[in-house]
Amino acid sequence: MNNLQSEWFVALQRLVPQHGLSRLGSRLAEATTPWLKNALIKQFIRTYDVNLDEAVSSDLSDYPHFNAFFTRTLKEGVRPVDQSNTSLVCPADGTVSQLGSIEAGNIFQAKGKSFSVGSLLGESDSDSQRFMNGSFITTYLSPSDYHRVHMPVDGELLYTRYIPGKLFSVNDTTTQYIDGLFAKNERLVCLFDTPVGRCAVILVGAMMVAGIESVWHGHYQPGEVTTNQFNSGQVLLEKGEELGQFKFGSTVVLLFEPESMIWDPQYQPGTITQMGAVLGKYKAVG
Which parts of the chain are beta strand (E)? 87-89, 94-101, 106-110, 113-116, 135-141, 148-150, 155-163, 187-194, 197-204, 212-214, 218-219, 226-229, 236-237, 242-246, 250-256, 261-263, 272-273, 278-282
- Catalytic site residue from 22, 65, 93, 260: 93
- Catalytic site residue from 87, 128, 214, 250: 250
C-alpha count within 13 angstroms, C-beta hemisphere, residue 239: 21
Judging by beta carbons within 10 Å of its beta carbon (0-12, 13-18, 19+), is residue 28 exposed, middle or buried? middle
Asked whether 281 and 262 are in contact (CB, 8 A), the reply is yes
- Catalytic site residue from 22, 127, 150, 214: 150
DSSP helix/strand/coil, 16? coil
Decide if 250 is catalytic: yes
| Cα separation, 85 vs 83, whole angstroms | 6
Question: Annotated active-site positions, please?
Answer: 93, 150, 250
